[in-house]
Each structure stands twice: as structure tokens, then as C-alpha cells.
């Protein structure tokens, strides 16, 4: 992936891994691996939802363009987290193809259920991701300013994606669906932290 925007790291933090104790560097690497997986999933979700918006019984080009614009920002996140993993000497998840395939399937289903549901899925996904990133801000080592800058920008972008989807006509998803989404995210983040 190639980012269209500059990575929001701070210049003095460029050599942060060298200054982090090994256990903090390992923690940052694991958390950034989870964030990278989230961005792999975002690529799949937005791609599938845009495809569904264009190819359904009532093609919706405006919705497809909105999803693709958000997806481009997710590409920035993917590139930033991939680079940060390299800087930390950490690897991406070995299960990325599985995460991508599962998220693509979910995005296609959400997209096929119509624009309101598709946008509702975006709202709920982005709200959960925003909360997840807030948790990572609490867990990242204070000295890892480079990772913290990336996560902060991602959190701001995710919140904006949710607001934009809400304004575009998102349907509120039923509570059981939200709970199921939370459960699936918990499994993914727990496994990706290690694998």
C-alpha cells in the first residue's frame, strides 16, 4: 500500500524503537500488528461494500464513491501501520489473508442489504474501531510517540468516517448485530495480537 498522506509521526520519534525497552517495543509491535490487521479488514470491507453499491439491482455510484474515498484513507492507515511494524522490528499477522477474506464477505453481505444497512455497518464498525484505538492509546508506551501519533490520526479519521456515513443515511443496526460484530472483533484482535 502507498499512502496519499504523510505519516503523522513526529520527526524526533523516528528512532524511537532504539530508545524503547525490549518489552515496550514488543508491546508496541503487537498493538500495531492488531491495528494493521484492522486496516487489512477495512480494505476488504470498503472494497466489497463499494462493489455491492455498484453491482446491485439499484446501482448507487455516489455511495460507491463515498466508500472508496474512506477506503483511500484506510489505505493510508494500512501503509502507516505497515511501516511502523517494520520500524519496530515486528511482523504483520500471519493470518492476514483469512482476515481479508472474512471482512470482504461481511462487507459484501452488508452492501447487498442496501445503502442504509451498508452505511449503518460503516457507522458501527468505525465506532467500534474508534473505541479500540482509544484503548490502544491507553496501552501504548508513553515513549512510543511515533505509534501514538499514527493511532491518534487513525482514530480521528475513523470517527469522521462514522459521522459521514451517519449523515449519508445510515440505518441503526439492531443490538444483536452490534454485539456479534463486537464479538468477532474481539476474536480478531486477541488472535492478531499474537499471530
The per-residue pLDDT for 62 is: 92
The per-residue pLDDT for 58 is: 85
Identify the band that residue 11 occupies on the pLDDT scale cut at 50, 70 and 90: low
Classify residue 11: in a domain, yes or no. Answer: no
The per-residue pLDDT for 30 is: 96
Whole domain around residue 68: which residue ranges?
20-194
- Percent of the residues in the chain that have a pLDDT greater than 90, as a whole number: 87
Query: For 13-30, what is the mean pLDDT?
Result: 79
Q: Give the number of domains in the chain.
A: 1
From CA 92, how far away is CA 159, in angstroms rounded? 25
Instruction: Report yes or no: 44 and 117 within 8 Å, Cβ to Cβ.
Output: no
Instruction: Report yes or no: 33 and 90 within 8 Å, Cβ to Cβ.
Output: yes
Classify residue 83: in a domain, yes or no. Answer: yes
- Which residue matches cell numbers 520519534? 13
Classify residue 46: in a domain, yes or no. Answer: yes
Q: Please work out, in degrees rounded to the nearest 5, the angle formed at the alpha carbon of residue 2 by the alpha carbons of 142 and 191.
A: 55
Classify residue 69: in a domain, yes or no. Answer: yes
Per-residue pLDDT of 27-81, as tens digits, reads 999 999 999 999 999 999 999 999 999 997 789 999 999 999 999 999 999 999 9
Per-residue pLDDT of 99-117, as tens digits, reads 999 999 999 999 999 999 9
This prediction's pTM: 0.91
The per-residue pLDDT for 19 is: 77
List the end-to-end C-alpha distance of the chain, in Å, as a whole number.
21
- Percent of the residues in the chain that have a pLDDT greater than 70, as a whole number: 95
Classify residue 106: in a domain, yes or no. Answer: yes
Per-residue pLDDT of 149-170, as tens digits, reads 999 999 999 999 999 999 999 9
H-run or E-run covering 4: none
Instruction: Report yes or no: 124 and 173 within 8 Å, Cβ to Cβ.
Output: yes
Classify residue 6: in a domain, yes or no. Answer: no
The per-residue pLDDT for 90 is: 96
Classify residue 147: in a domain, yes or no. Answer: yes
The CA-based diameter of the chain, rounded to the nearest angstrom, is: 56
Q: Mean pLDDT over all residues of the chain? A: 92
Classify residue 158: in a domain, yes or no. Answer: yes
Instruction: Report yes or no: 53 and 116 within 8 Å, Cβ to Cβ.
Output: no
Which domain CATH number covers 76?
A: 1.20.1260.10
Amino acid at each position: 500500500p502507498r499512502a496519499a498522506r504523510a505519516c503523522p509521526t513526529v520527526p524526533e520519534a523516528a528512532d524511537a524503537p532504539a530508545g524503547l525497552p525490549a518489552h515496550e517495543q514488543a508491546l508496541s509491535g503487537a498493538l500495531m500488528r492488531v491495528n494493521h490487521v484492522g486496516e487489512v479488514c477495512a480494505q476488504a470491507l470498503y472494497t466489497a461494500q463499494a462493489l455491492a453499491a455498484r453491482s446491485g439491482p439499484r446501482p448507487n455510484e455516489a455511495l460507491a464513491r463515498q466508500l472508496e474515498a474512506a477506503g483511500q484513507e484506510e489505505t493510508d492507515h494500512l501503509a502507516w501501520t505497515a511501516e511502523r511494524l517494520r520500524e519496530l522490528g515486528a511482523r504483520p499477522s500471519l493470518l492476514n489473508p483469512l482476515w481479508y477474506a472474512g471482512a470482504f464477505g461481511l462487507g459484501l453481505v452488508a452492501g447487498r442489504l442496501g445503502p442504509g444497512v451498508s452505511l449503518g455497518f460503516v457507522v458501527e464498525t468505525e465506532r467500534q474501531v474508534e473505541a479500540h484505538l482509544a484503548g490502544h492509546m491507553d496501552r501504548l508506551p508513553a515513549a512510543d510517540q511515533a505509534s501514538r501519533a499514527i493511532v491518534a490520526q487513525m482514530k480521528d479519521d475513523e470517527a469522521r468516517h462514522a459521522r459521514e456515513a451517519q449523515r449519508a443515511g445510515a440505518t441503526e443496526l439492531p443490538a444483536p448485530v452490534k454485539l456479534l460484530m463486537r464479538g468477532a472483533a474481539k476474536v480478531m484482535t486477541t488472535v492478531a495480537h499474537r499471530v
